[in-house]
Chain A
């Protein structure tokens, strides 16, 4: 009898420990983001009040990330999960969220933040969408963070969410967000000045990763190396593209670091164009340590390529 009483007490004590939520006030908010860019923006506004980690690497194709159990260790204790949304992470994030055992970050829970709601989304398909068009994103192009204006909007949205979760640090997040906005506006002036001479230039890209970037900096994308989103280059499409590039005098092929350069380089040989490997995310190169350096890097190599092909 005594033994069973003690057992009951021990079980009750264990249950109490298990069910008692940890106190959030004493510690930083734990934020996990799917991409490094969102981690950088969160760090900008969250400062030393947040601990931020990203799941994917900056040089990885964000469509095809392996959902590794080690990600669960990060998600398990997260207070907030920030994602790009628009189905970019559809192939890998949902099972991670389900298996995390973390009720805070389940869809629609307070710790689940899809930042596409704050950004200007381009290429939203009109009418019926079918896979005959390739791997289209029915909700619009998810590569929207590559526009500093969207960066500002996302940061503002993240600051709002951090304030909601940690109201005591409202002023801190607000001040950091305003400071970030100011620095971004100054940096954007510099980037715009660097790109000013190349506005209206025609280029081709490998995948549809750059509509927000090209819109912001006034570039004109007239073709893609992929015949359709997610479909590898075919010989017939490549020939059509070469003819188009010759006709339109296109000298820049913009590609992401995770695509094979074989086809772009053979196109470059036929058209005397230059292959420019731009980084779509923070961490794509060791020196790209934050959102500012991402644009610094991309604009530097792009302007250099424009100069070389003039």
Chain B
């Protein structure tokens, strides 16, 4: 409180001084230079008042009142030591010290200070309704597909942390939870925790930033579907010197080695690794191109002796006229992915569980998607996607399909999307499906890496 009292006191004095200056009768021998000096003085006082207001705003935002009580106590050590009741007890990482009469709280500061230090909290709901027949990949008529809880904050001067916890209708999954070290020397950015791997584009994206209801066939078949390569590990990123006007960036990651049906860690040494090089260039103020090459390697579900290699290239062209950026935009994107993996003979399937339709021996699978999304009004987007992918465990089986998408944003915080999807499965049947998706956001969801 003392901070505020001092600030408000100063402000009142300044206002009084300014008023006095304004209302004081002009001296009889006043000259124009006196007047301008007076005006200057008033301006200076106004500026100081505005600056003090700014400081009050900042102090309020930082939740100063609670610790200020203790600051006051600390300022008078003799009184603080006079009674044992007033001995301050350090509580929590926030540095808040509980004084006389305060209840001891676990986990740090309480009251206004506690709220100020809370992370940004957000929830994004993802409701999907589906129609159509698809025996291979059935979807319910209605589902609250995901509720993503985001908790994001700066940890200390050297790091920030982001948690994204995904609640399904039946279970909870830590989609991502990592610390980012932002102040490392030599321009390195490091992360540790569970995170989506930097393999290609779609694998890095959360559901709510996808331009479709689903993920492309190639991601479903070869890169672990919705969960994708999402694992606990460490990541290093660094910008590499590049020719003029090019942005080049390298990311290297090492994970425990457990990711959907892509990698399985049978023992502690079965780590998986991911490497990604990104090249980006602004073509004009309104358009840019983003290219990527990815590689990943790990052990698959058949055991430590069986390796899966993933190779990918991705390309994104983005057009957005800056003067009309909220009304028009176009994004074309494509990813080509190759998966090569060692598999045991079919005889081994008598002792270990094998996927359906698995083929024996080394498999080389390939798949891609290509899509375009055009924003034709402030709230409206339409898009199309072409899909084709071999199956990971039997490269002779090939699925293909396509989708048409229409999206409407009632506001920045809600989105309604319709998608028609056609899939011709290798199992000799076609699936025609329609989806409607509602996404809605509460709270302050920070922008994701781009």
Contacts and interface: CB of A to CB of B under 8 A. Distances in A.
Interface of A: 18-19, 57, 59-61, 64, 66-70, 72-73, 76, 90-92, 94-95, 97-103, 106-109, 116-121, 124, 131, 134-135, 139-140, 149, 152-153, 156-157, 230-232, 257-260
Contacts of B189: 98-101
A153 B180 contact: no
B288 A70 contact: yes
B285 A121 contact: no
A116 B55 CA distance: 10
B1 interface: no
Given A69-B290, A258-B324, A258-B326, A117 B54 contact: yes
Contact of A95 (B43, B239, B450): B450
Nearest to A157: B51
23 contacts: A19-B185, A19-B186, A60-B323, A61-B325, A61-B326, A69-B247, A69-B249, A70-B247, A91-B447, A95-B446, A95-B447, A98-B449, A100-B189, A103-B185, A106-B154, A109-B157, A109-B183, A116-B57, A131-B411, A232-B379, A258-B325, A258-B326, A259-B326
Contacts of B50: 118-120, 153
A-side binding surface: helix, strand, loop or mixed?
Answer: loop
Contacts of B180: 98
Contacts of B327: 260
B268 interface: no
A107 B58 CA distance: 13
Nearest to B46: A149
Contacts of B245: 70
A4 B61 CA distance: 54
A99 B237 contact: yes
Contacts of B57: 116-117, 121, 124, 139-140
Contacts of A103: 158, 182-185
A28 B66 CA distance: 42
B-side binding surface: helix, strand, loop or mixed?
Answer: mixed
Contacts of B450: 66-69, 95
Nearest to A92: B447
A67 B447 CA distance: 9
A95 B58 CA distance: 22
A81 to B, nearest CB: 13
Contact of B184 (A64, A101, A120): A101
A98 B182 contact: yes
Given A57-B322, A153-B51, A101 B411 contact: no
Contacts of A131: 411, 413
B37 interface: no
A156 B288 contact: no
Interface size class of B (residues with CB under 8 A): 35 or more
Contacts of B280: 68-70
Nearest to B378: A232
B188 interface: yes
Contacts of A258: 322-326
A102 B187 contact: yes
Interface of B: 43, 46-47, 50-51, 53-55, 57-58, 61, 154, 157-158, 160, 180, 182-189, 237-239, 245, 247, 249, 278, 280-282, 285, 288, 290, 318, 320, 322-327, 378-379, 411-413, 444, 446-450
Nearest to B183: A103
Residue with the highest number of chain A CB atoms closer than 10 Å, among B43, B55, B450: B450
A54 B172 CA distance: 43
A132 to B, nearest CB: 10
Given A64-B325, A91-B447, A140-B57, 18 more contacts: A61-B325, A72-B239, A94-B447, A95-B448, A95-B449, A99-B237, A101-B184, A101-B187, A101-B239, A103-B182, A103-B184, A117-B58, A120-B53, A121-B54, A152-B47, A153-B51, A230-B411, A258-B322
A108 B61 CA distance: 13
A97 B288 CA distance: 21
Contacts of A230: 411-412
A216 B418 CA distance: 48
Contacts of B188: 101
A59 B55 contact: no
B237 A101 contact: yes
B32 to A, nearest CB: 13
A72 B429 CA distance: 48
Nearest to B180: A98
A70 B411 CA distance: 29
Residue with the highest number of chain A CB atoms closer than 10 Å, among B182, B184, B245, B288: B182
A117 B182 contact: no
A83 to B, nearest CB: 14
B54 A72 contact: no
A94 B446 contact: yes
A237 to B, nearest CB: 14
B185 A117 contact: no
Contacts of A153: 47, 50-51
Nearest to B285: A57
A61 B328 CA distance: 13
A101 B158 CA distance: 11
A66 B320 contact: yes
A107 B154 contact: yes
Contacts of A91: 447
Nearest to A106: B182
Nearest to B40: A185
B183 A106 contact: yes
Contacts of B184: 101, 103
Given A59-B322, A68-B280, A73 B448 contact: no
B46 A231 contact: no
Nearest to A101: B187
A117 B51 contact: yes
B22 to A, nearest CB: 16
A30 to B, nearest CB: 14
A112 to B, nearest CB: 10
Contacts of A66: 318, 320, 325, 450
